[in-house]
Structure 1
Amino acid sequence: MMIASSLYAAGQYALRYLPALGDTSQRKAALLAALIGAVENNDVDAIEDLLGGASDVALIAEGIRESAHSPLHAAAAVGHVKALRAMLSTLPSDFVELPDESGRDLLVLATQHDQIDVLRELLPSPNMSYSAQIATLVSPTVSTIKNFLGYEVRATRVNTLDAEQNSLVSLAARYGYVEVVAFLIEKGADVHLKNRSGQDALMCAVHTGSLDTVQLLVEAGADVHSRDRRERSVLHYAAIRQEANMVRYLIDEHGIDVNASDWEKRTPLFYVRDRQVAELFIDNGADVDHPDEYRQTPLMFAAWTGNKPLEQYLREVGANPTRTNARGRSADDMARARDQIIPEKAMISLAPMLVVGQHPDLE
């Protein structure tokens, strides 16, 4: 709030003294400050006044291209649709693609901040012809017509990617924005696009724990058998999330293999920390003694991490406590070492000597 108030104060100050500024660089800075202040206050009249002169528009456009976080980005992030519309109707059409300091364009920012009205503005219905769109205007101007014509480009950008190659629908799924996910699907979002880690929208939704989003994506054709770069399935993501309902849905409704292993040959059971979730996997045929690449078993991980309820349950259902890993350590060895060392920090320091490789986790 402090930053927003300061920006608005600077904008109002600049508005008052703009006529006295003769230096071009000073005027450009003042115009940009004024525009930012007007956007922060959602003052559309002030925005239109600032963009009313051709020379000032050129200076503002130059300033926006040079800025790390422009008035357009500010409007998209907070959902000031009218302010955004007022700027886009006058500024160059490619400004919708300008990245901020983190490489996020207006579509990415709007998605990350759950600003569905901004997305509706930037991704209008591609089914309505331009003539029909223009006909809806009372008195179309040249700038307004250009704005509508620019929508063809924006409408095709529903599959735009952020700096980490996340699609808009994946970002919305990651944040659990069900309404945004539904809107993007309606606009033709590709639910199969993957980011640099090989995660698609469905994996993001499962990891977030939003069953509604997962079901929505599946209905839209998402691949329930997809794998990420580390060969992890959606069940691996559900296991680390500890969502029993999610696990039940994926197994019961889609028959996903509970013993499918990732690149270190670890099944979803390796990722489980909750007894109730473990029971779901075991009841559906999970191999309790499945060895990973280092001959480790889920029981060894439970013993290593000190998860006694899970360790006890795995022993009850027949997990072999005497099997040894690549270093010759058994689950019993790990349990004894854990019980002998009371300080938690000491247990953490000893853990790498007992277990081979990294403990399974999700980025």
Structure 2
Amino acid sequence: MMMRFFTTVFGFLSLALALSSAGASSNPCHLLAGAVPEKVHGMLEVSDGTDAYEGKSIIYYAAVLGRVGAVDAWVSEENWRSLDPDIFSGAVIAGQVEVVNVLLNSGVDPDWRDSNGATALLAAAACERLDMVELLIEAGADVNAHNNDGLDPLIQAIVLGDIDIVLALLNAGFDLSQSRLVNGLGPRDVAERVGNDEILKLLYAQ
């Protein structure tokens, strides 16, 4: 159930609003690695990287759990495009910095989209992981990239009230004119709706 939650729900504005009202301690990002079934830990010890469990590849679980050596051995510049697209965002959500660096060094596109059409940068913003946001920006991630609902990292950060991530994205050249949800709301509209005057001032200063 937890794995399905992370691969089908992340990136939607309703989730961000729920997290915002519940408080940062309720953010499920911090539960991802701990939700990996015990059986998978055993599989990782003997796998050649081709196994799967409950619809997710063993490499995905290795990334989420921070198994740097396994990920390094199983992911290469030649094969990453054919692998489970949730590997990259899974590592970001779980806060596995070393794994993310291994994936980037293996040639993974910093804008690699997961199975829901969201980038890892959007996942990082949803998890309020400033370190990941900065790492991905430095790697060349498109700060304006959005998912199928028009949700981008900036709007996600605005909903969560994460001013540090908002600043990081703006300083990286985020283009406000290119940001709009499918319902027509832009960053300033969202900031007004959530009542964050500090972020709203930043946006109007752009």
Normalising by structure 1, we get a TM-score of 0.41
Q: Which runs of 5 or more structure 2 residues have no equivalent in the other structure? A: 1-36
**Structure 1 residue 259 displacement after superposition:** 8.0
Aligned CA distance change for structure 1 residues 214 and 283 (closer, same or farther; 3 Å): closer
The count of corresponding residues between Structure 1 and Structure 2 is: 168
Q: Following the alignment from structure 2 to structure 1, what is the Cα–Cα distance between the partners of residues 158 and 59?
A: 31
Mapping 1:150-189, distance limit 5 Å: 156-162=78-84, 165-166=85-86, 168-189=87-108
Larger gyration radius, structure 1 or structure 2: 1
Q: Following the alignment from structure 2 to structure 1, what is the Cα–Cα distance between the partners of residues 57 and 178?
A: 40
Q: Following the alignment from structure 1 to structure 2, what is the Cα–Cα distance between the partners of residues 174 and 161?
A: 18
Asked if the contact 2:64–2:94 (Cα under 8 Å) also holds between the matched residues in 1, the reply is: yes
Q: Following the alignment from structure 2 to structure 1, what is the Cα–Cα distance between the partners of residues 58 and 79?
A: 11
**Structure 1 residue 179 displacement after superposition:** 1.8
What amino acid does structure 2 have at the position aligned with 1:96? G
Match of 2:109 among 190, 198, 221: 190
1:116 aligns with 2:88: no
Q: Following the alignment from structure 1 to structure 2, what is the Cα–Cα distance between the partners of residues 121 and 260?
A: 38
Normalising by structure 2, we get a TM-score of 0.68
What amino acid does structure 2 have at the position aligned with 1:98? D
CA deviations on 1:289-337 (whole Å, 9 max, x unpaired) are: xxxxxxxxxxxxxxxxxxxxxxxxxxxxxxxxxxxxxxxxxxxxxxxxx
Q: Which runs of 5 or more structure 1 residues have no equivalent in the other structure? A: 1-68, 78-83, 89-94, 124-153, 287-363
**Structure 1 residue 229 displacement after superposition:** 0.3
Asked if the contact 2:77–2:107 (Cα under 8 Å) also holds between the matched residues in 1, the reply is: no
Match of 2:57 among 99, 105, 110: 105
Give the SS at the match of 1:96: coil
Aligned CA distance change for structure 1 residues 70 and 209 (closer, same or farther; 3 Å): closer
Q: Following the alignment from structure 1 to structure 2, what is the Cα–Cα distance between the partners of residues 245 and 274?
A: 17
Asked if the contact 2:63–2:71 (Cα under 8 Å) also holds between the matched residues in 1, the reply is: yes
Asked if the contact 2:121–2:143 (Cα under 8 Å) also holds between the matched residues in 1, the reply is: yes
**Structure 1 residue 285 displacement after superposition:** 1.4
Asked if the contact 1:111–1:119 (Cα under 8 Å) also holds between the matched residues in 2, the reply is: yes
Q: Indicate the RMSD between aligned Cα atoms, in angstroms.
A: 2.9
**Structure 1 residue 70 displacement after superposition:** 11
- The aligned counterpart of 2:26 is none
Q: Following the alignment from structure 2 to structure 1, what is the Cα–Cα distance between the partners of residues 179 and 74?
A: 41
**Structure 1 residue 155 displacement after superposition:** 6.2
Asked if the contact 1:258–1:268 (Cα under 8 Å) also holds between the matched residues in 2, the reply is: no
1:250 aligns with 2:172: no
Mapping 1:74-113, distance limit 5 Å: 74-75=41-42, 84=45, 87=46, 95-100=48-53, 102-113=54-65
Asked if the contact 1:76–1:110 (Cα under 8 Å) also holds between the matched residues in 2, the reply is: no
Asked if the contact 1:76–1:118 (Cα under 8 Å) also holds between the matched residues in 2, the reply is: no
Of structures 1 and 2, the one scoring higher in RCO (CA 8 A, sep 6+) is 2
CA deviations on 1:8-59 (whole Å, 9 max, x unpaired) are: xxxxxxxxxxxxxxxxxxxxxxxxxxxxxxxxxxxxxxxxxxxxxxxxxxxx
Asked if the contact 1:224–1:234 (Cα under 8 Å) also holds between the matched residues in 2, the reply is: yes
Q: Following the alignment from structure 1 to structure 2, what is the Cα–Cα distance between the partners of residues 241 and 76?
A: 36
Asked if the contact 1:112–1:175 (Cα under 8 Å) also holds between the matched residues in 2, the reply is: yes
Aligned CA distance change for structure 1 residues 278 and 180 (closer, same or farther; 3 Å): farther
Give the SS at the match of 1:193: coil
Give the SS at the match of 1:97: coil
Asked if the contact 1:269–1:278 (Cα under 8 Å) also holds between the matched residues in 2, the reply is: no
What amino acid does structure 2 have at the position aligned with 1:239? I
- The aligned counterpart of 2:134 is 215
Q: Following the alignment from structure 1 to structure 2, what is the Cα–Cα distance between the partners of residues 161 and 175?
A: 18
**Structure 1 residue 172 displacement after superposition:** 1.0
**Structure 1 residue 233 displacement after superposition:** 2.1
1:262 aligns with 2:184: no
Q: Following the alignment from structure 2 to structure 1, what is the Cα–Cα distance between the partners of residues 82 and 123?
A: 17
Asked if the contact 1:226–1:233 (Cα under 8 Å) also holds between the matched residues in 2, the reply is: yes
What amino acid does structure 1 have at the position aligned with 2:42? A
Identity %: 22
Asked if the contact 1:258–1:284 (Cα under 8 Å) also holds between the matched residues in 2, the reply is: no
